[in-house]
Amino acid sequence: MTWRDTMVDQPETDSTAYLTGWTISGLAVLGTIVAVWVLGI
């Protein structure tokens, strides 16, 4: 059994899913920061 890290060993053919995942996670982080900022004020 070969261990593979999905964050490091990304196949070239899965670039669309890779970018989609990063975009969703990026928006989630930004949304959390904005929510905390708005609620904090």
DSSP per-residue codes, the chain = -----TTTS--GGGHHHHHHHHHHHHHHHHHHHHHHHHHH-
Domain extent at residue 22: 17-41
Residue 33 lies in a domain: yes
pLDDT tens readout for residues 11-33? 555 678 778 888 999 999 999 99
Tokens standing for residue 17: 């899913």
Q: Are 38 and 31 in contact (CB under 8 A)?
A: no
The total domain count for the chain is 1
Residue 6 lies in a domain: no
pLDDT, position 26:
92
Measured distance between the N- and C-terminal CA atoms of the chain, rounded to whole angstroms: 52
CA distance 1 to 36: 43
Confidence (pTM): 0.51
